[in-house]
Amino acid sequence: MAGLFTADIENRGLVLDPRTKLFIMITLVVFALGGAGSDTAAVRWGTVAVSALPIVLLLTARSYKTAAVSGCLYALVKAAELCLVPHMTGAALSVCGMCCMIVIRLMPGLLMGTYMLSTTTVSEFIAAMHRMHVPQQITIPLSVMFRFFPTVLEGFASINTAMRMRDIRLGGKHAGKLIEYRLVPLMVCSVNIGSELSAAALTRGLGTGVRRTNICRIGLHWQDLSALALPVGLYGAWILGMIGVIG
Amino acid sequence: MKEAARIQDVTFRYASGDAGALDGLDLTIGQGECVLLCGGSGCGKTTVTRLLNGLIPHYYEGDLTGTVTVFGKSVRETAIEALAGTVGSVFQDPRSQFFCVDTTSEIAFGCENMGLPEQEILRRVDRTTEDMHIRPLLGRSIFDLSGGEKQKIACAGVAAMLPELIVLDEPTSNLDLDAIGELREIIRNWRAQGKTIVITEHRLGWLEGLCDRVLYMEDGRITRSFTGERFFSFDTEQLNEMGLRALRTAHPYLTSRTGLTQIKPFDGQEVLTLEGFRYAYGKHTALAIDRLTLPQGAVIAVIGHNGAGKSTFTRCLCGLQKGFKGKVTIGGRTYRPREMLRQSYMVMQDVDHQLFAETVLEETMLGAEETDLAAAMEILETLQIAACKDRHPMSLSGGQKQRVAIASALMAGKRLLVFDEPTSGLDFRSMEQTAQLLRSVGRELTVLIVTHDMELIDRCCTHLLHIEGGTVTHDLS
């Protein structure tokens, strides 16, 4: 899987609209992390189902390994929380209970974040922001920033290579200066690339007063609707639980 | 002939103090003309391209006098974004001119900025890809493209905006010979469409038959002007005298047989024996050399077409490739990849990535076994950079930075030096200096140079190592 906004567009499986991903992300934050509506049984089980959604999505994005590992981990921890933790007492309870809670609450959100960043292209991101009426003054600087990450990471990789050849590493002779030695060349390269990138952007008309067109096709398709069914259902159950229809 | 651009009595100095100032430059470019600007580094040719696309005065700051008009518009009074539809620019480094991660959006990027209707953009993208024969590149990830393919996409992105004038600033600096051939076709096509083209270049041979006019610049002025025909009839000596690179080289090395070939007298006896040089990325075999001996103390050019496995080979040799299991024998001792890391050093194309310290002297001492100041000074002396020993490495010129990197390798007692394209974007004089340097370093340790620069090979290499398809026993027919 590629890194930040460097989606491998040739081989990324099922494509979801960025807004769908954002909606799922928000749902995970509200229910898995925030624990909203956890006094209703239906919402509790619904949260488990929604927490499994990023794992399914990672499968559709062909990151089989990440999906399998995180799926097993989540299942194990959830089983432990349900079957073992209630029988524990004292220190074991606080330590295990804490660990289970961290994994169960945080992992789905982190996985969703990974999925979101690794499957969305910059153009899709801008198109989605545009549809959500976010002004150009915000989207353009953001998009240039995203474009910048992979290049900086590339630079970082070659700096690391050079350091290995010079035998500057943790525990080596110059361990204390590791950070400084890395940052100086990285900053010099970033400044150079950044200024060249801006120059190139200007000659291609970025920042003209006119409203930008975006040819990137985004929209809600069947896959978005199926991915959205579960989160929407969960909000429904929450509301029903709050007004006391279900218990 | 109608006039496309006129530069009148322009004097310019960069506020940053960068080289490339102009000193009373006059130039008129006719519509449909293809003009080549040449001259040594810092002669001001890049500055001229920046005047035409409006980067000067709108992006690079400095003192500008005189007037520049492009298709009747005064550049000074026209916003740079407004010029975008009229003047298209292709730059040196394909890495720093992309915004999107996929090729289709990248080609459409400029048109999107102009706010054209969606249908019109799709039509233009379609026509451009058709014209330039790059349909197979559509919908690909930018990060998986070769340098040549990236440069083609950059050209397509510019062409889709339908500019009247296209400026190219050293577009072949990072390209191999095949990619240069393809760029030539693109420019021939633009010429046939009647576009006005201005190119600055150090490598000149590929432009033969394309340029109507060649202008030679010195110290911010155009000092000589030739017709294309006259210029491309010059021989190597005449060009070198002007500080320009040769148009063609005597030996077309890439068509020679694969494997190791001696091309200059060499009397070393010792050898490095490489064994089990095999490496694969997933299922794709990138390198498959069972046994190879290289002469110790030689300067060896590593050549081959794009994707031949040259960089995998050098990365394996230096012990940088993870999971590589081959071995190298030097003087009866066998080294594993991890140990080769201590014996070798690679000078990267972007030297900035490997200079860490605050002064040149500190940088040199950094990799040293012990703090032997005298030895370090001696090395700096031999490499002729002792005078800048207290300067910050990042404040030096490209060639000086290269020397600092070499100094640190020598100081660390490395026995194998690998250079990745050490002369990309260098003019004739700097190339010659680099060649001399590599030759002198080569006597003490073994030097491998990955390069497409045939002129450099002619000047300093004793051997050729031609790799194709990851092996040295490839059948070239």
- What is the DSSP secondary-structure string of B408-425? HHHHTT-SEEEEESTTTT
What residues of A are in contact with residue B97 (Cβ under 8 Å)?
196-197, 200
Q: How far from B456 is each of A133, B71, B92, B137, B245, CA to CA, in Å?
A: 55, 41, 20, 32, 10
**pLDDT tens digits in sequence order for chain B, 477 residues long:** 789 999 999 999 999 888 889 999 999 999 999 999 999 888 999 999 999 999 989 999 999 999 999 999 999 999 888 888 899 999 988 778 888 878 898 999 999 888 899 999 999 999 999 988 899 999 888 878 888 889 999 999 999 999 999 999 999 988 888 889 999 999 999 999 999 999 999 989 899 999 999 999 999 999 999 999 999 999 999 999 999 998 887 777 777 788 898 888 888 888 999 999 999 988 888 999 999 999 999 999 999 888 888 989 999 999 999 889 999 999 889 999 989 998 999 998 888 888 888 889 988 888 565 568 888 898 898 888 888 889 998 888 888 898 999 998 888 888 899 999 898 888 898 899 889 989 888 877 899 999 988 889 999 999 999 999 899 887 765
Residue A2 pLDDT more than 60?
no
| Closest residue to B117, CB basis, from A164, A168, A213 | A213
| Closest residue to B141, CB basis, from A10, A144, A207 | A10
- The DSSP code sequence of B357-372 is SSSHHHHHHHT-SS--
What is the per-residue pLDDT for A3?
52
Among B462, B440, B456, B466, smallest CA distance to B202 is for B456
* Closest Cα in chain A, distance from residue B140 (Å): 6
Question: In chain B, whose CA is at the least distance from the CA of A151?
Answer: B95
3-state secondary structure of B354: helix
**Per the CB < 8 Å rule, is A214 touching B112?**
yes
What residues of B are in contact with residue A130 (Cβ under 8 Å)?
none
**Per the CB < 8 Å rule, is B408 touching A166?**
yes
* Closest Cα in chain A, distance from residue B119 (Å): 9
What is the per-residue pLDDT for B156?
94
Angle at A47 between CA A44 and CA A51, to 5 degrees: 145
Q: Is B289 exposed, middle or buried (0-12, 13-18, 19+ CB in 10 A)?
A: buried
- Structure tokens that stand for A213 in this block: 């067109």
Cα gap A61→A12, rounded to integer Å: 5
Question: In chain A, whose CA is at the least distance from the CA of B111?
Answer: A213
Give the H or E element holding residue B13: strand B3-14
- pTM here is 0.83
Query: Mean pLDDT, to the nearest integer, of A28-43?
Result: 88
Cα gap B433→B441, rounded to integer Å: 12
Give the H or E element holding residue B71: none
| Closest residue to A208, CB basis, from B104, B108, B113 | B113
Among A115, A105, A137, smallest CA distance to A18 is for A115
| Closest residue to B108, CB basis, from A155, A164, A215 | A215
Which residues, numbered 30 to 89 in chain A, qualify as contacts with chain B under a Cβ-Cβ cut-off of 8 Å? none
**Per the CB < 8 Å rule, is B101 touching A197?**
no
- The DSSP code sequence of chain A is ---TT---TTS--S---HHHHHHHHHHHIIIIIT-TTTTSHHHHHHHHHHHHHHHHHHHHTT-HHHHHHHHHHHHHHHHHHHHTGGG--HHHHHHHHHHHHHHHHHHHHHHHHHHHHHH--HHHHHHHHHHTT--HHHHHHHHHHHHHHHHHHHHHHHHHHHHHHTT--TTSTTGGGHHHHHHHHHHHHHHHHHHHHHHHHHHTTTT-SSPPP--------HHHHHHHHHHHHHHHHHHHHHTTS--
Cα gap B458→B250, rounded to integer Å: 8
**ipTM score here?**
0.84
**Residues B125 and B207 sit within 8 Å (Cβ to Cβ):** no
Q: How many residues does chain B have?
A: 477
The sheet carrying B344-347 orders its strands as: B259-262, B463-466, B299-303, B446-450, B416-420, B344-347
Among A131, A130, A149, A155, smallest CA distance to A140 is for A130
**Per the CB < 8 Å rule, is B366 touching A193?**
no
Among B97, B114, B53, smallest CA distance to B78 is for B53
**Per the CB < 8 Å rule, is A196 touching B99?**
no
Select the highest-mean-pLDDT range: A75-79, A209-213, A216-220.
A75-79
Which residues, numbered 166 to 225 in chain A, qualify as contacts with chain B under a Cβ-Cβ cut-off of 8 Å? 166-168, 174, 177, 180-182, 184-185, 188-189, 192-193, 196-216
Running DSSP on this structure, what letter comes out for residue B463?
E
Angle at A162 between CA A159 and CA A165, to 5 degrees: 155
Give the H or E element holding residue B344: strand B344-347
Residues 6 or more apart from B318 whose CB is under 8 A from it?
Answer: A165, B340, B341, B344, B345, B346, B416, B418
Higher per-residue confidence, A70 vs A181 = A70
**Residues A20 and A226 sit within 8 Å (Cβ to Cβ):** no
**Residues B292 and B472 sit within 8 Å (Cβ to Cβ):** yes
* Closest Cα in chain A, distance from residue B457 (Å): 25
A55-88 pLDDT, tens digit per residue, is 999 988 888 888 999 999 999 999 988 888 888 8
Q: Is A165 on the interface with B (CB under 8 A)?
A: yes
What is the per-residue pLDDT for A6?
57
What is the per-residue pLDDT for A149?
77
* Closest Cα in chain A, distance from residue B158 (Å): 8
Per residue, what are the HEC states of B140-163? CEHHHCCHHHHHHHHHHHHHCCCC
The sheet carrying B221-227 orders its strands as: B87-90, B165-169, B196-200, B34-38, B213-218, B221-227
| Closest residue to B157, CB basis, from A5, A155, A204 | A204
**Per the CB < 8 Å rule, is B144 touching A10?**
yes
What residues of B are in contact with residue A144 (Cβ under 8 Å)?
99
**Per the CB < 8 Å rule, is A9 touching B121?**
no
Q: How far from B166 is each of B55, B71, B83, B446, CA to CA, in Å?
A: 14, 12, 12, 44
What residues of B are in contact with residue A192 (Cβ under 8 Å)?
96, 352
- The DSSP code sequence of B164-215 is SEEEEESTTTT--HHHHHHHHHHHHHHHHTT-EEEEE-S--GGGTTT-SEEE
Q: How far from A120 is each of A2, A197, B7, B105, CA to CA, in Å?
A: 11, 21, 45, 13
Cα gap B10→B24, rounded to integer Å: 5
**Per the CB < 8 Å rule, is B112 touching A213?**
yes
Measure CA of the first residue to CA of the last residue in chain B; give whole Å. 48
**Per the CB < 8 Å rule, is B354 touching A155?**
no
- Structure tokens that stand for B137 in this block: 């590149």
Higher per-residue confidence, A148 vs A91 = A91
Q: Given the structure tokens 């959100």, which residue do they identify?
A: A109
Cα gap A47→A50, rounded to integer Å: 5
Mutate to test the interface with A, among B95, B113, B116 (most CBs of A within 10 A): B113
* Closest Cα in chain B, distance from residue A233 (Å): 35
- The number of C-beta contacts closer than 8 angstroms across A and B is 189
Residue A1 binned pLDDT confidence (cut-offs 50, 70, 90): very low
Mutate to test the interface with B, among A124, A145, A166, A177 (most CBs of B within 10 A): A166
- The sign of the torsion formed by the CA atoms of B274, B276, B278, B279 equals negative
Among B178, B204, B185, smallest CA distance to B45 is for B204
Q: Percentage of chain A surpassing pLDDT 90?
A: 22
What does the longest C-alpha to C-alpha distance in chain A come to?
Answer: 69
Q: Given the structure tokens 């017709």, which residue do they identify?
A: B227
What is the per-residue pLDDT for A5?
54
Q: How many residues does chain A have?
A: 247
Q: Is B80 on the interface with A (CB under 8 A)?
A: yes
Cα gap B350→B345, rounded to integer Å: 14
Cα gap B362→B456, rounded to integer Å: 31
Running DSSP on this structure, what letter comes out for residue B471?
B
Q: How far from B391 is each of A183, B220, B362, B363, CA to CA, in Å?
A: 18, 28, 10, 10
* B271-281 vs B259-262, strand pairing mode: unpaired
What is the per-residue pLDDT for B268?
82
Among B404, B407, B410, B402, smallest CA distance to B431 is for B402
- Structure tokens that stand for B305 in this block: 């077409």
Give the H or E element holding residue B382: helix B373-382
What is the per-residue pLDDT for A9?
62
What is the per-residue pLDDT for B369?
56
**Per the CB < 8 Å rule, is B99 touching A206?**
yes
**Per the CB < 8 Å rule, is B98 touching A147?**
yes
| Closest residue to A200, CB basis, from B91, B101, B115 | B91
Higher per-residue confidence, A217 vs A82 = A82
